[in-house]
């Protein structure tokens, strides 16, 4: 008897956690299979899609897969049985989608890929379009900004030591942002990456790894001139490490971040960070536009890059056509 | 000879030997790796960094050691750490108003409430294991997943920061030249060591882990002991959570504490505590956590390419575990007596 009550208690707790709601209305129905809510960026992307769909009057069936491919597979299968009109999809991994993509194609449901892509033979036949960021270009933009910045400050041709905080090992943003950055600096032998380690896209590791970069540089007697962090979170962790080592972030060490999250804008306005290259999660409007275009019978390009800017407080004053002011755009940041 | 034998057969010997070998390797390759200097009255250097940065895993490992000694595991510590980080930062922010403003709540209350939250989550684990009779892996897995959700609810799915200076000092400050974190870890270790070695509590834990029904028959209330060790593990995780939040002054709901339960379990195993329960070695677990961080810092220092660093770390861990496994020890003893 006692055990029964305890079991009942557990069930009640679980039930309360699992509340679900269903809406019934005949509108355009969009199924969206999201990866999860692992970062501010991802949450921003989810909210943007939700908002844009609500504004357009679409009915959105949203599934958070909690980083599991199985969950995404069953969500997609569920979308087919429910007979949704469109599917939005950010795959958690690149492979393993062959079977389900064929089923979706047979069901005649157009798929719009968001921010991540799939890897299968003739994969472009299976989706209407892919909307997302160009990670390689983000790396290139970071390096180009650095070249401009050094030029303006009369440090052109100077020996510059760069340390790099990489993203999660093997993830496509980490690989591409590294590649893009190296594409540009390889033509400039005075720019050298002296240390490079993963900070796993987290603030805490960004700080820990930067501390060790600084100690190593000190024991070798070399100066660190630039930090290139694959995301803003790691840059913010590194800024703390630099301050605690008695250096001035943003002055003694030039700090470059990627993502353009609100926290990075705050750091730039405080003068502790120099630049952030946007990687916008606000793909909702473009997602909705793609659906409207298909409704109107248009054929879409297979790749649609999102529009992204570079924000800082120095070069934007001198080259407003290339760089945007962080101060001006700070109030409108939503993520 | 007798003293030597005593040292070698001591439970602390193999973890310390492993740590010594890692440091020796560094000393040979790069003598100044181990140099410690005093800057502004603070000790700085790789050694201090290793000690300092191993503290969060060390705290988790201390709590985990007792749980493992009862024959369980606590997979939820990483998530509890995240919940604690989120709770402490939201409290210090005083709701969601101004991240740099001084909180309405005194720091000591923030710390105490966060610790209570940790204990409460631990009690929930203990309740599921001891009273409902769920296997520990399943019971704590529930909180591991639910804890992430709870963290996201508390933070409203975004990173929260704080500019509260005294809060940042908890982890980043120095006392008598040594990082505060190290003092906190030392205090927690001494407390746990005292209660598990100088009172009967440790003996109860070991007997429950060795044979729960025998312990029950001997008059030990095994269920109570189990609930207490999970609560203590939750407490340790919440202290680690406060330190982690204080260290970077930000909580990233999906990243903070991610995979740290695994590091904590590895630290306990490296420290020589058997996963089957029974005997445990608190000091060994602390050394285990230091070994892990020493390995990581070594990789950073030599700039081992990211692609290899994880594999090298795995290989070293396997070697250490093999070296100190009972099978190896038996083998060495047999060889020694044969000569």
Where does the pLDDT of residue A24 fall: very low under 50, low under 70, confident under 90, or very high at 90 and above?
A: very low
Residue B124 is predicted with a pLDDT of 95
Residue among B40, B158, B310 minimizing CB distance to A40: B158
A233 touches chain B (CB under 8 A): yes
CB contact under 8 A, B249 and A240: yes
Q: Helices B55-69 and B260-270 sit at what angle, rounded to 10 degrees?
A: 70
Residue B95 is predicted with a pLDDT of 58
CB A127 within 8 A of CB A113: yes
Is 70 exceeded by the pLDDT of residue A94?
Answer: yes
Using only C-alpha atoms, chain B has a radius of gyration, in whole angstroms, of: 21
CB contact under 8 A, A212 and B39: no
Percent of chain A surpassing pLDDT 90: 41
B139 exposure class (CB count in 10 Å sphere: 0-12, 13-18, 19+): buried
Mutate to test the interface with B, among A12, A197, A259 (most CBs of B within 10 A): A197
Strand ranges (E), B171-306: 174-175, 178-179, 250-251
Residue among B132, B255, B300 minimizing CB distance to A202: B255
Average pLDDT, chain B: 86
Where does the pLDDT of residue B104 fall: very low under 50, low under 70, confident under 90, or very high at 90 and above?
A: low
> What does the pLDDT average to over A228-256?
94
Residue A1 is predicted with a pLDDT of 55
> What does the pLDDT average to over B169-176?
88
Segment A58-78, tens digit of pLDDT: 999 999 888 788 889 999 999
Is 90 exceeded by the pLDDT of residue A13?
Answer: no
Phi-psi region of B278 (alpha: psi -120 to 50; beta: other; left: phi over 0): left
CB A121 within 8 A of CB A159: no
ipTM over 0.85? The verdict is: no
Concatenating the DSSP letter of every residue in A294-333 gives HHTTPPPPSEEEPP--EEESSHHHH-TTT-EEHHHHGGG-
Task: Give the nearest chain B residue to A241 (CA atoms).
Answer: B248
A115 touches chain B (CB under 8 A): no
Domains in chain A, ordered, with CATH?
27-132+282-301 (3.40.50.2300), 135-279+309-332 (3.40.50.2300)
Report the C-alpha gap between A316 and A326 in whole angstroms.
8
Is 80 exceeded by the pLDDT of residue A168?
Answer: yes
Segment A114-151, tens digit of pLDDT: 888 888 888 888 898 999 888 999 999 999 999 999 98
The two three-digit tokens of residue B83, written as one number = 């919940």
Is 50 exceeded by the pLDDT of residue B163?
Answer: yes
CB contact under 8 A, B49 and A244: no
Residue B98 is predicted with a pLDDT of 52
Is 90 exceeded by the pLDDT of residue A20?
Answer: no
Is 80 exceeded by the pLDDT of residue B29?
Answer: yes
A234 touches chain B (CB under 8 A): no
CB B248 within 8 A of CB B53: no
> Range with the lowest mean pLDDT among A140-154, A245-259, B95-109, B164-178?
B95-109
Where does the pLDDT of residue B316 fall: very low under 50, low under 70, confident under 90, or very high at 90 and above?
A: confident
Residue A21 is predicted with a pLDDT of 40
Residue among A37, A197, A263 minimizing CB distance to B300: A197
Segment B73-101, tens digit of pLDDT: 999 999 999 999 999 998 888 755 455 55
Residue (of B48, B13, B49) closest to B271 by Cα position: B13
């Amino acid at each position: 008897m006692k055990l029964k009550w305890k079991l009942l208690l557990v069930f009640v707790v679980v039930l309360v956690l699992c509340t679900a709601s269903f809406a019934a209305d005949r509108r355009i129905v969009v199924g969206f299979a999201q990866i999860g809510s692992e970062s501010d960026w991802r949450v921003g992307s989810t909210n943007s899609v939700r908002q844009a769909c609500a504004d357009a009057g679409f009915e959105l069936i949203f599934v958070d897969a909690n980083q599991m491919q199985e969950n995404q597979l069953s969500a997609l299968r569920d979308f087919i049985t429910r007979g949704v009109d469109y599917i939005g999809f950010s795959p958690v991994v690149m492979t393993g989608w062959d079977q389900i993509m064929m089923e979706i194609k047979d069901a005649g449901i157009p798929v719009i890929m968001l921010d991540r892509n799939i890897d299968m033979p003739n994969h472009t036949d299976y989706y209407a379009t892919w909307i997302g960021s160009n990670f390689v270009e983000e790396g290139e933009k970071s390096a180009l900004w650095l070249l401009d910045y050094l030029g303006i400050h009369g440090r052109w041709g100077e020996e510059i030591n760069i340390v790099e905080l990489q993203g999660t090992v093997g993830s496509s943003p980490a690989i591409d942002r590294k590649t893009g950055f190296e594409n540009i600096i390889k033509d400039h032998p005075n720019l050298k990456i002296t240390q490079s380690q993963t900070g796993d896209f987290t603030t805490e590791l960004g700080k820990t790894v930067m501390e060790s970069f600084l100690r190593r540089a000190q024991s070798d007697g070399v100066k660190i001139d630039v930090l290139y962090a694959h995301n803003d979170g790691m840059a913010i962790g590194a800024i703390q490490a630099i301050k605690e080592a008695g250096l001035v972030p943003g002055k003694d060490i030039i700090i470059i971040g990627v993502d353009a999250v609100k926290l990075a804008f705050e750091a730039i306005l405080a003068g502790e960070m120099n630049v952030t290259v946007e990687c916008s999660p606000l793909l909702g409007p473009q997602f909705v536009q793609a659906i409207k275009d298909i409704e109107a019978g248009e054929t879409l390009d297979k790749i649609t890059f999102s529009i992204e800017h570079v924000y800082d407080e120095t070069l934007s004053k001198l080259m407003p056509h290339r760089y945007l002011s962080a101060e001006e755009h700070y109030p409108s940041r939503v993520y | 000879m007798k003293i030597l034998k005593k040292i070698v057969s001591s439970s602390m010997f193999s973890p310390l030997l492993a740590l010594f070998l890692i440091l020796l390797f560094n000393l040979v390759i790069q003598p100044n790796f181990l140099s410690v200097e005093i800057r502004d009255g603070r000790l700085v250097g790789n050694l201090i960094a290793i000690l300092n940065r191993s503290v969060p895993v060390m705290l988790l490992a201390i709590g985990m050691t007792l749980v493992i000694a009862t024959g369980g595991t606590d997979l939820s510590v990483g998530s509890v750490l995240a919940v604690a980080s989120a709770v402490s930062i939201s409290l210090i922010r005083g709701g969601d108003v101004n991240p740099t403003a001084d909180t309405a709540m005194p720091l000591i209350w923030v710390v105490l409430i966060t610790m209570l939250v940790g204990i409460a989550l631990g009690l929930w684990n203990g309740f599921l294991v001891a009273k409902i009779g769920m296997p520990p892996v399943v019971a704590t897995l529930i909180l591991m997943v639910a804890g992430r959700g709870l963290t996201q609810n508390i933070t409203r799915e975004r990173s929260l920061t704080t500019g509260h200076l005294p809060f940042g000092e908890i982890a980043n400050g120095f006392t008598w030249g040594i990082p505060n974190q190290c003092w906190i870890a030392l205090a927690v270790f001494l407390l746990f060591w005292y209660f598990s070695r100088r009172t009967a509590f440790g003996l109860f834990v070991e007997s429950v882990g060795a044979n729960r029904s025998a312990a029950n028959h001997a008059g030990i209330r095994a269920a109570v002991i189990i609930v207490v060790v999970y609560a203590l593990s939750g407490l340790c995780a919440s202290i680690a959570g406060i330190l982690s939040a204080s260290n970077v002054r930000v909580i990233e709901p999906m990243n903070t504490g991610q995979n740290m339960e695994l590091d904590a379990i590895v630290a306990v195993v490296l420290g020589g505590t058997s996963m089957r329960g029974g005997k445990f070695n608190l000091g060994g677990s602390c050394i285990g956590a230091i070994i892990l961080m020493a390995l990581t810092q070594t990789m950073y220092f030599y700039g081992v390419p990211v692609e290899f660093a994880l594999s090298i770390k795995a290989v070293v861990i396997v070697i250490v575990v093999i070296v100190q496994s009972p099978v190896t020890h038996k083998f060495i003893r047999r060889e020694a007596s044969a000569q």
